[in-house]
Amino acid sequence: MDSWVRFNSQSQAKERVFRAAQYACTLLGYTLQKGGSGVELLKMVKQLETHISLTRKLMRLGNSAEAVEAAKRAVHLSDSVLRLCLTVAHLNKAMYFACDNVLWAGKAGLLPKLDQDKWSQRSFRYYLFALILNLTRDAYEIRLLMEREARSSHGGSNATWTSSPPSPSPENGDLSHPHPSSSSFPVAILPLLSERFGRQFHLLGTVLRSNPPLLLDLLKNACDVFIPLDRLGIYPTGQGFVGACGLASSILSILTIVHPWLKLKP
């Protein structure tokens, strides 16, 4: 009960719960539509989804300031790739929130002449770019960690080789100069390539397993990216998939709020 009170007192936590509810409604609406449910129930779910969406827009008033502050903090990062990705991502988020605020004013009747479609598209464009930058950052972090992991495991295997004689394995073969006269060259290189991919995949698995915050951030961004892609018509996936992705992403976000150590830093 006490942890719920602490969770409930955070503005972002409540917003995430409402986001989960909104996408649950999207998914439910799709399921009901597919299942040929009553029009009345479908209308109610759609109405609830719209209401929660509008509430979230109002709740996010002032979040642009937070995003700008986060961008200011990101500017001082030592790693140039992280600095670029995070600063621009936060600035895009600030623009997304600003567009969302304008959109709220339109939906609430404060700006009745507002072209809501245009502002919605603009908002999703900024959101998509922010997500692409976040995914780029995740990929960069993964690459760094994989290199470090490969180096450390290589160091370990080197130590083993000094104590035992090298085995005639593909690791010791000179892959840089394949025999040109060998007619079985393409056949011979396929197992080597698949083995290399297997090794890389295993390395990726190891890195992500040992870094839950990075794994969660990657999953969250991967889920989120389908929402603006669908809304902008770049890669239409349908209501059901968007709802499922939004719900999954919201649950992962809630997890990072409940367990702050799961949040990717910086």
List residues binding its own copies (CB under 8 A): 1-2, 4-5, 8-14, 18, 44, 47-48, 51-52, 54-55, 58-59, 62-63, 65-66, 69, 108-110, 112
For the residues of 169-207, what is the DSSP string, one character each?
STTTS-TTS--TT-TTHHHHHHHHHHHHHHHHHHHHHHH
Q: How far is the CB of 28 from its own copies (least distance, A)?
A: 13
Looking at the Cβ atoms of 1 and 39, the one nearer to its own copies is 1
Looking at the Cβ atoms of 52 and 218, the one nearer to its own copies is 52
How many CB atoms are located within 10 Å of the residue 219 CB? 15
Residue recorded with tokens 């439910």: 28
Residue recorded with tokens 């597919």: 34
Q: Between helices 80-107 and 63-74, what is the axis angle to 10°?
A: 170
Q: How far is the CB of 41 from its own copies (least distance, A)?
A: 11
Looking at the Cβ atoms of 111 and 144, the one nearer to its own copies is 111
Q: How far is the CB of 195 from its own copies (least distance, A)?
A: 50
Name the residue type at position 156: G
Q: How far is CA 195 from the centre of its chain?
A: 29
Nearest to 167 by CA among 157, 180, 154, 177: 157
Looking at the Cβ atoms of 43 and 179, the one nearer to its own copies is 43
Q: How far is the CB of 62 from its own copies (least distance, A)?
A: 5
Q: How far is CA 155 from the centre of its chain?
A: 33
Looking at the Cβ atoms of 36 and 112, the one nearer to its own copies is 112
Cα Dmax for the chain = 79
103 and 123 Cβ atoms separated by less than 8 Å:
yes
Looking at the Cβ atoms of 112 and 260, the one nearer to its own copies is 112
Instruction: List phi, psi (to 5°) of 110.
Output: -80, -30
Nearest to 127 by CA among 226, 54, 52: 226
Q: How far is the CB of 52 from its own copies (least distance, A)?
A: 7
Q: How far is the CB of 36 from its own copies (least distance, A)?
A: 21
Residue 128 and residue 134: Cα distance in Å, rounded?
10
Q: How far is the CB of 72 from its own copies (least distance, A)?
A: 9
Residue recorded with tokens 């609406």: 29
Looking at the Cβ atoms of 54 and 84, the one nearer to its own copies is 54
